[in-house]
Structure 1
Amino acid sequence: MSTHETDDGTGGWTPTWTQAMTDFRGEDGEPPFDDVTVRMTVPASVGGSHVRVELSNLFGEDPVRIARSAIGVRGRFVEVSIDGQSSIELPAGTSRWTDPVDLTVSHGDEIVADLYLPESTPYTTANGFTFDRSLPGDFVGSRAFPLGGSTPVETDESREFPATDTGTGPEPEPDGNGWSLPPGGPFLRTIEVAGAGAKAVVVCLGASSTAMGWPQYTAALLPADARIAVVNRGISGNRIRLDAPSATPSWGRAGLSRFDEDVLGTHGVTHLVIAYNSNDWSLPGRVTPLDEMPTLAQLIDGYRELIDRARTAGLAVLLTTVTPLAPDLAGVPGREGFRLAVNEWIRTSGHEFVDFDVAIRSVAHPSLLEDRYAAPDHTHPNVNGSKRLAQVMTEALARLQL
């Protein structure tokens, strides 16, 4: 697939950053926004000469009013509009593209997206782990951003991804042993650039380990002249076969359910990475009903359907093996045996694959994560682990001669 052509002479649009939007209604982790500015600082995968933004209220029950918004790079902010109007309304269940703005973005730049929400707005359609919330007021484009309950933060401050100013979680630790928490936030689904001349667009579909940031680290490792966009469509708790249970809607629709929107709906997509965790078979009987447990054949059929749908659309596909389970499950034969069987199929099925399991598992205890790659729960990769996964993914993309 080629990138979509613009109507303003700038060439095709290419995603430089994405997230998979999910439903946070009924989950009370984040209070509503009311007369505050939300700032999301996200890494650019590829560069371009023009920018546009996709804003989404897909899971909201009421319209979302954004009184003012802007995109900034290296201290320069440009206000954005829709149909020429700076005050934007997102009807419930919809997504809308902003008008293009003339703003140069380079590979590796931090793109700052500011949304001023003047009235009470629930945290509904969102993803990601870290974003900034201001003190009351409109601070769109402000260089000194007054964090709620904190002191102003300069927008041109140099900081390594992931961002350290958090709206929804603990800060990553500087030694890389803490949680890998990528930037994201509410209502911002996609940032695209025009004029990038991208050679490939790699969409990473998966669950928490994907959502936690190895795609962004992969993009950062690639040289700017590679012109490869690597974008994230991971959702924590997500499964291949089954949608989220009603109690935890933020786990999102199943990979099979959201494939058309999150993969085929990504402009210019050329490659799909299917990088799921163990949620399909580790959650049933523990967090979800036991009758949701798939057979191995059913799960493999789910993988095969994703592969077939991607190839029908002309996409190249890479699979990733499943990394070790939580320590309390690693010794349970049925669960660990399932993981080993899935990985055996991935390694022997004839499909291109990247061995995430080998990359971060313990050499001495292969059913567990290596300590230096494990987050505090010893289930997810920490910052070092996400960077290690990015390294092996970068090597795999090089083997494909992208």
Structure 2
Amino acid sequence: MRLRLIMLGMALCASAATAAPREQPARWVGAWGYAVSPNPPGQLPPTPIALTAGPLVPLAAPPAASPPPAPIPKLDNPGGLPVDGSSAELANATIRQIVRVSAAGNAIRLRLSNESGVEPLSLGAVHVGLAEPDGSVQPGSDHVVTFGGHNGVMIPAGAPLLSDPIALPVKALDRLAISLHVPDRLIVRGARSLFHYVAGEAGDSTGAAQLPNARLARAPGLVTGVEVAATQPTNVIVTLGDSITEGSQSTANAFRGWPDRLAERLAARPGKTRWAVVNAGIGGNRLLRYGSGPNALARFDRDVLSVPGVKVLILLEGINDIGRGYTTKGSVEPATAEALQAAQRQIIERAHEHGIRVIGATLTPYKGATYWAEPGEAVRQALNGWIRTSGAYDGVIDFAPVVADKSDPLTFDRAYNDTDHLHPNDAGYRAMGDAIDLNMVTGE
């Protein structure tokens, strides 16, 4: 009997050795990203913001003392659709989010987020396909997105969720149309809004090539990441920062921020190893305090370390600490150069622990912005000098002189800023993206 058991065991081992090798799991890498901004810890979210599945219903008129609403930003709208710039609330509606991936792959998966929600978020159906310029889906590219094999899903409050793999091959710089049906009321609290295509008819239109009676409207970014199963070795660069990294004041839905330009240049660059770019900018973000999202130190693990394939971090952060700390009315929440340097050193050390190279970027000019003040300018100059000369970083991108007025380096060149003396326009972002030394950033 003992001999028979030994022979049986040997036969099983031989059978296992000759069986087909187990399929290796896909190597997922981040190819697009959007950082959400949950409410400060311990604080209740503000009143929900509003949009129905049919005509958009504006919020109640603000008090007379309130400032006028911000103007609708420049918007890529080749179809000439109606546009509503007010924040909105969704109910039994289909929204379509347009993203652009920065790496090629033979499959994708989506990262959805309810991290700003205080209640579970139900999605009745999700579809994804290659996007046409007008926001419609290219024929033959539509795919149903599943979650554990199911078409619908409930995302717990405060949580993200990964989809099942989707057999949709993509190339670098392909645009995707991701359509989501929200069967219930979507309560939008504390989340920044993007411009999405919104169906003008109630119900599930996720499978439609062209959304019925569509309009462009502000709505929350429910998809916060796209990962690809890379077809060749691919590394990822994460850009961590505030509105200047997010791309504020660039043409919305046109992908014209400086991280977008960096992705375009890397996609056109030959090489065995490819590089993707994931944007983790949040408008109003700070290094040391809460400001339109957790401070950079608090969100570092979620927005940088959790991105699969990340090898390089570009950090452009601190102007909001300075601007809000030293206003024309005096010091409110002072942020010294030493404190900002210490925060950046923390990010460098934490990234190095995970084998991530860190590139520091100098803060761009802001004289003329509403929160500019001489004491704050002195801090910016000191921080920029430290970034350039300390040796703390693995490399430096000196953005400041790229967009500065040559006759007054404390201000933006008018060709690169035509609004608020703080945020670049499309030309300014392009100049920033073109100024990056690709070999220095990639370490090649």
TM-score, shorter chain, exceeding 0.5: yes
Query: Is the 1:32–1:122 contact (alpha carbons within 8 Å) kept by the matching residues of 2?
Result: yes
- Higher alpha-carbon deviation: 91-100 or 120-129: 120-129
- In the TM superposition, what is the alpha-carbon distance from 1:221 to its structure 2 partner? 2.2
Question: Where does residue 384 of structure 1 map in the other structure?
Answer: 427
Query: Is the 1:57–1:125 contact (alpha carbons within 8 Å) kept by the matching residues of 2?
Result: no
Question: Where does residue 206 of structure 2 map in the other structure?
Answer: 140
1:118 aligns with 2:204: no
Deviation readout 1:164-194 (Å, 9 max, x if unpaired): xx533xxxxxxxxxxxxxxx94221111010
1:205 aligns with 2:236: no
Partner SS state of residue 104, structure 1: coil
Partner SS state of residue 70, structure 1: strand
- In the TM superposition, what is the alpha-carbon distance from 1:9 to its structure 2 partner? 4.0
Partner SS state of residue 181, structure 2: strand
- In the TM superposition, what is the alpha-carbon distance from 1:91 to its structure 2 partner? 1.0
- In the TM superposition, what is the alpha-carbon distance from 1:216 to its structure 2 partner? 1.8
What pairs up with 1:3-402 in 2 under 5 angstroms? 9=24, 11-23=26-38, 25-26=45-46, 28=49, 30-73=87-130, 75=138, 76-124=141-189, 126-127=191-192, 129-136=194-201, 137-146=203-212, 148=214, 150=215, 166-168=216-218, 185-212=220-247, 213-223=257-267, 225-226=270-271, 227-244=274-291, 251-284=292-325, 286=327, 290-328=331-369, 332-350=373-391, 351=393, 352-393=395-436, 395-397=437-439, 400-402=442-444
- In the TM superposition, what is the alpha-carbon distance from 1:285 to its structure 2 partner? 5.3
Unmatched 5+ stretches in structure 2: 1-21, 40-44, 50-85, 132-137, 248-256
In the alignment, the residues of structure 1 paired with residue 418 and residue 98 of structure 2 have an alpha-carbon distance, to the nearest angstrom, of 23
Letter in 2 for 1:221: R
Partner SS state of residue 200, structure 2: coil
Query: Is the 1:277–1:323 contact (alpha carbons within 8 Å) kept by the matching residues of 2?
Result: no
Unmatched 5+ stretches in structure 1: 1-6, 151-165, 169-183, 245-250
- Root-mean-square deviation over aligned CA pairs: 2.4
Query: Is the 2:107–2:166 contact (alpha carbons within 8 Å) kept by the matching residues of 1?
Result: yes
Q: Given the two structures, how large is their TM-score scaled by the length of structure 2? A: 0.75
Partner SS state of residue 310, structure 2: coil
Q: Given the two structures, how large is their TM-score scaled by the length of structure 1? A: 0.83
Query: Is the 1:72–1:141 contact (alpha carbons within 8 Å) kept by the matching residues of 2?
Result: no
Q: 1:66 to 1:8 in 2, by over 3 A?
A: farther
Q: Rg: which structure is higher?
A: 2
- In the TM superposition, what is the alpha-carbon distance from 1:128 to its structure 2 partner? 6.2
Deviation readout 1:113-153 (Å, 9 max, x if unpaired): 111112211224755633222212322132222354x4xxx
Partner SS state of residue 245, structure 2: helix
- In the TM superposition, what is the alpha-carbon distance from 1:237 to its structure 2 partner? 0.3
Letter in 2 for 1:389: M
Number of paired residues? 358
Stretches of 4+ aligned residues off by more than 6 angstroms: none
Letter in 2 for 1:109: D
In the alignment, the residues of structure 2 paired with residue 365 and residue 208 of structure 1 have an alpha-carbon distance, to the nearest angstrom, of 23
Q: 1:399 to 1:144 in 2, by over 3 A?
A: closer
